Structure 1
Amino acid sequence: MMRAETFFTEAEKQRIAATISGVEEKTSGEVVAMVVDSSDTYPEARMLAGLSIGGLIALVITDLFLADSLGYFLPLLLGGATLVGGLAKFCPPLLRLFIPETRKESRVAERALRTFYEKELHTTRDNTGVLFFISLLEHKVWILADRGIYLKISQETLQAYANEVATGIRQGQACDALCREIEAVGGILANHFPVKTDDTNELSNQVLTG
């Protein structure tokens, strides 16, 4: 299972930080990149995986070896559901099969919003914080901006860049894709929110994990 702490190498983390620093030399916008293991524990998906696969295994065993006995089927179902449900917790490919796409999208969006406030991106002087949020379990990327940004740039525009990062991750080029899209978004920020003479670095440029 991919872990947020080791998703990027130390060299890649330094490259991303340098990219953010370079962008912020041209804009009053403040860019933050964060990687998390997942945006939810998805207990309902684990339960569904356990009941579906565990139930199938219990049905096959009782049908082939136990004369379709309900007395054997029920404890086998319970044991199989518990075992498979626990396995799904540590097997992201299995768990993802039982999470609807809309559920993944909503949980990543909600976690990104919570992170935005927890990491105080809403406190910048000109309300120009931008969060690049990567959630590994869901294979989703979300870009969230403060209200100052949304006066000039729509969420749909930002999400197009997020989708490019997600594509890069699937292709095994996560660092390249993230740096490229940070620079692309930075170019838009520089046009609408040029750097000011008294600009200061208000938020960390280092890749955050959680």
Structure 2
Amino acid sequence: MKRLDPSELAAIEAAVRAAEARTTGEIYCVVTEESSHYGETPLAWAAGVALLGPAVLLLAGVHVTIPDLFAEWSASDVSAAIESAVRHALISAIVVQGLLFVITAVIVAFPPVTRVLTPRSVKRHRVQRRAREQFVAKNLHLTRERTGVMIFVSLAERMAELIADDGIADHVDAHVWDKAMAALTQGLKTGKVEAGFEAAVGLCGDVLAEKFPAKPGDNPNELPDAVVVLPRL
């Protein structure tokens, strides 16, 4: 997982400063190592694999033995024998299922394995949710003209989100940000996160400068330009 070093963070901050000089809009960059711990993934996989316990026993040749009907057994003897065989089979299935559950949970709990086995849709939802949380937590909705834009990157998932405040969304079509997001996503895929960030910031600055140009003598810097780096959850 590619992390941003101090020089890369400084380069992104400089790009934000340059972009904001052309607009009354505010660009705010947030990076997190990972948007969720995905603790349910090991449990879900462990439960699914554990359900295969009976199948494993069958493949291993374990089966319930029914007494020979031609033997001189009484009805009670046959019933007791069947009950005992079924009980042993059930106990074996439970033990095998328990072992499969524990082994699978331990293996899938390793972060790289967890990330691979977590559905992309789940990761996307968690990234979107944490981005929305940060947008509110960092007060991007409280700028003077409601012209804040947050670029949120989750490194482990290699996913990004862009959230524009109401003052921008009312005047700018959502598809306008596609180029910026494409540049950022490409940077995440190739490991050039800083370059992707800089390109995305520049493209966002172009959009904001066109719709919300800077006003001479009245362009306060309402939000920090530095990239906010969040710890892993």
The TM-score range, normalised by the shorter chain, is: 0.7 to 0.9
- Superposition TM-score, scaled by structure 1 size: 0.83
- The equivalent residue for 2:226 is 206
Structure of greater Rg: 2
Cα distance 1:82–1:193, how it changes in 2: closer, same or farther (>3 A)? farther
- Distance, in Å, in 2 between the alignment partners of 1:178 and 1:54 is 43
Match of 1:42 among 32, 35, 38: 38
Counterpart-to-counterpart distance in 1, 2:144 and 2:156? 34
Q: Larger RCO: Structure 1 or Structure 2 (Cα < 8 Å, ≥ 6 residues apart)? A: 2
Corresponding residue for residue 122 of structure 1:
141
| Equivalence for 2:199 | 180
Determine what percentage of the aligned residue pairs are the same residue.
26
Equivalent of residue 156 in structure 1, options 143, 151, 175: 175
Specify every segment of 5 or more residues in structure 2 that has no aligned partner in the other structure, as ranges: 64-88
Deviations 1:137-174 (A, max 9, x none): 32210000101111222233324422331222111111
Give the Cα–Cα distance (whole angstroms) in 2 for the partners of residues 83 and 36 of structure 1: 30
**What is the distance in 1 between the residues matched to 2:150 and 2:102?**
38
The offset of 1:175, in angstroms, is 0.8
Q: Secondary structure at the match of 2:37?
A: coil
Residue in structure 2 matched with residue 81 of structure 1 by the alignment: 101
Match of 2:117 in 1: 97
C-alpha separation in 1, matches of 2:174 and 2:109: 32
Aligned to 1:24: 20
User: Contact 2:184/2:193 (CA < 8 Å) preserved in 1?
Assistant: yes
Equivalent residue in structure 2 for 1:171, among 190, 201, 204: 190
Q: Give 5+ residue unaligned stretches, structure 1.
A: none
- Matching residue's letter, 1:200: P
Query: Which residue of the partner structure matches residue 33 of structure 1?
Result: 29
TM-score by length of 2: 0.75
C-alpha separation between the residues in 2 aligned to 1:156 and 1:93? Answer: 34
When residues 50 and 156 of structure 1 are mapped into structure 2, their CA distance, relative to the original with a 3 A threshold, is: farther
Amino acid at match of 1:77: Q
1:145 to 2:164 alignment: yes
| Residue 47 (structure 2) pairs with residue 51 (structure 1) | yes
Aligned partners of 2:116 and 2:141: how far apart in 1?
32
Answer yes or no: is the 8 Å Cα contact 1:109–1:142 preserved in 2.
Answer: yes
Q: How far apart are 1:64 and its partner, in Å?
A: 7.2
